[in-house]
């Protein structure tokens, strides 16, 4: 039977509480399916700064390179807020993305039927929402050169960022998006601002060219301002969305509210040999250490890991079904609590999901 090496980087705050719960669920998958997971833990973020002075020590990077996939928690917290730029916890995650060439960020946003009322949007709008935002992660405005601030002769200042994409960068993320859409409902919306930006005109041209290799996927183009409105007005019209870095940053956060809570949202970052899976949420310093964080985002991230890195889609489906069953039975963590439901802590919620998962295999 196969052995898969998984790098485990819990990071800081509730990352250290939810990641062990995701491992518990993967433990059930191992027991029931016969595969072996080798979990090896590494330091990242504030925890790594405290231990080594570096937010991504060489040992952690080596561990990631030599693993089949990475399960990541979250990094950061008030303790390190005043640290110099290069020694801030988030530098660890940014460097990891860069080193591993993780150029495609996948964020599903699904409104679970029993959580419809947890969303600030009307039931009639969010019900049955099930979409995936794919954001280009390593190019565009956030990385383009030139960038910087210069002082002008008259004492004023001028600042520059550059939005830049090569056709290769667009093509590779487009291919990931078409492949993902193919495994979903075969509809892809490419989002750009081609009425104003030349970068977007190239984006549209390249995505259209790639679409010729995916005749079974229906492609539409949409302007980003229109997409921002449609996401909260008619989210069910979307299946898979692909867009550049900055637009994706904003649209994926907007899509997050459709799911009701940050504690429900998993993500995957794909690209090079090793992909990284992490809950969308941060370290939640306001609830860290209290044992009340929702472990579902981390557990669903583990399901994405099985689906995208280990070709274990049936097991990923089972984890998602187990989460649904526990929610259907009325169990909730504090962030998704509703009247008439039973309140659970982090460990209890994961225990119930693990138990349901075991039952789904038998």
Active-site positions?
142, 193, 225, 249, 253
Phi and psi torsions of 351, nearest 5°: -60, -45
Distance (Å, whole) CA 198 – CA 181: 26
Residue among 283, 271, 1, 24 nearest 136 (CA): 271
262 or 321, CB closer to ligand NAD? Answer: 262
Query: Nearest approach, Cβ of 77 to ligand NAD (angstroms)?
Result: 5
Query: Nearest approach, Cβ of 340 to ligand NAD (angstroms)?
Result: 20
Which residue, judged by CB position, is nearest to ligand NAD in the bound state?
282
55 or 235, CB closer to ligand NAD? Answer: 55
Query: Nearest approach, Cβ of 289 to ligand NAD (angstroms)?
Result: 12
Residue 314 · residue 322 · CB < 8 Å: no
Residue among 233, 244, 265 nearest 201 (CA): 244
Task: Figure out which of the listed residues 177, 224, 284, 323 binds ligand NAD, where binding follows CB under 6 A.
Answer: 284
CA distances, 175 to each of 94, 206, 249, 307, 343 (Å): 23, 10, 19, 17, 42
Distance (Å, whole) CA 68 – CA 310: 8
Distance (Å, whole) CA 253 – CA 246: 11
Task: Figure out which of the listed residues 47, 48, 49, 93 binds ligand NAD, where binding follows CB under 6 A.
Answer: 93
* Residue 145 in contact with ligand NAD, rule: CB under 6 A: no
Pattern 220-259, binding to ligand NAD, x per CB under 6 A? ----------------------------------------
* Residue 283 in contact with ligand NAD, rule: CB under 6 A: yes
129 or 261, CB closer to ligand NAD? Answer: 261
Q: Per CB under 6 A, which region of 152-160, 203-211, 281-289, 303-311 contacts ligand NAD?
A: 281-289
Enumerate residues 48-77 that contact ligand NAD by CB under 6 A.
74-77
* Residue 20 in contact with ligand NAD, rule: CB under 6 A: no
Residue 55 · residue 91 · CB < 8 Å: yes
Q: Which helix (H) or strand (E) holds 192?
A: strand 187-192
Query: Nearest approach, Cβ of 118 to ligand NAD (angstroms)?
Result: 12
* Residue 282 in contact with ligand NAD, rule: CB under 6 A: yes
Task: Figure out which of the listed residues 94, 202, 222, 262 binds ligand NAD, where binding follows CB under 6 A.
Answer: 262
Annotate 163-185 with DSSP letters as a single string. Answer: ----HHHHHHHHHHHHHHHHHTT
* Residue 287 in contact with ligand NAD, rule: CB under 6 A: yes
**What is the C-alpha radius of gyration for the chain, rounded to an integer number of angstroms?**
21
Residue among 12, 18, 62 nearest 40 (CA): 62
47 or 310, CB closer to ligand NAD? Answer: 47
Compute how many other C-beta atoms are within 10 angstroms of the C-beta atom of residue 245.
22
Enumerate residues 298-327 that contact ligand NAD by CB under 6 A.
none
181 or 280, CB closer to ligand NAD? Answer: 280
Sheet containing strand 130-136, strands side by side: 36-41, 3-11, 69-74, 275-279, 266-270, 104-110, 130-136, 240-243, 187-192, 218-223
* Residue 83 in contact with ligand NAD, rule: CB under 6 A: no
Cis peptide before 276 (omega within 30 of 0): no
* Residue 335 in contact with ligand NAD, rule: CB under 6 A: yes
Residue 37 · residue 302 · CB < 8 Å: no
Residue 34 · residue 2 · CB < 8 Å: no
189 or 294, CB closer to ligand NAD? Answer: 294
* Residue 82 in contact with ligand NAD, rule: CB under 6 A: no
* Residue 144 in contact with ligand NAD, rule: CB under 6 A: no
* Residue 293 in contact with ligand NAD, rule: CB under 6 A: yes
282 or 312, CB closer to ligand NAD? Answer: 282
Binding site for ligand NAD (CB under 6 A): 14, 18, 74-77, 90, 93, 262-263, 278, 281-287, 293-294, 297, 335
């Amino acid at each position: 039977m196969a052995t898969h090496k998984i790098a485990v980087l819990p990071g800081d705050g509730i990352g250290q509480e939810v990641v062990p719960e995701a491992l518990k669920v993967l433990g059930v998958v191992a027991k029931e399916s016969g595969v072996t997971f080798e979990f090896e833990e590494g330091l990242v973020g504030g925890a790594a700064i405290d231990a080594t002075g570096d937010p991504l020590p060489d040992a952690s990077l080596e561990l990631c390179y030599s693993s089949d996939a990475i399960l990541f928690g979250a990094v950061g917290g008030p303790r390190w807020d005043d640290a110099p730029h290069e020694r801030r916890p988030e530098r660890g995650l940014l460097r990891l993305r860069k080193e591993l060439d993780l150029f495609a960020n996948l964020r599903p946003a699904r409104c679970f039927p029993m959580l419809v009322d947890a969303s600030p949007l009307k039931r009639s709008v969010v019900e049955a929402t099930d979409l995936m935002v794919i954001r280009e992660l390593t190019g565009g405005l956030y990385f383009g050169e030139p960038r910087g601030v210069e002082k002008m002769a008259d004492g004023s200042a001028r600042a520059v960022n550059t939005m830049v994409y090569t056709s290769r960068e667009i093509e590779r993320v487009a291919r990931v998006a078409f492949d993902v859409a193919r495994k979903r409902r075969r509809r892809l919306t490419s989002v750009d601002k081609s009425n104003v930006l030349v970068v977007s005109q190239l984006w549209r041209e390249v995505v259209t060219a790639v679409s010729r290799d995916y005749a079974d996927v229906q492609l539409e183009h949409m302007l980003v301002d229109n997409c921002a409105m449609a996401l909260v007005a008619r989210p069910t019209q979307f299946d898979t969305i692909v867009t550049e870095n900055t637009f994706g940053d904003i649209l994926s956060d907007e899509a997050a509210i459709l799911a009701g809570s940050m504690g429900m949202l998993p993500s995957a970052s794909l690209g090079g040999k090793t992909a990284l899976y992490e809950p969308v949420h941060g370290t939640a310093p306001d609830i860290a250490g209290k044992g009340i964080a929702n472990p579902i985002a981390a557990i669903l991230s583990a399901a994405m890991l099985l689906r995208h890195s280990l070709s274990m889609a049936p097991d990923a489906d089972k984890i998602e079904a187990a989460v649904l069953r526990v929610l259907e039975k009325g169990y909730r963590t504090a962030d998704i609590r509703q009247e008439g439901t039973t309140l659970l802590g982090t460990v209890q919620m994961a225990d119930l999901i693990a138990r349901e998962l075991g039952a789904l295999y038998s």
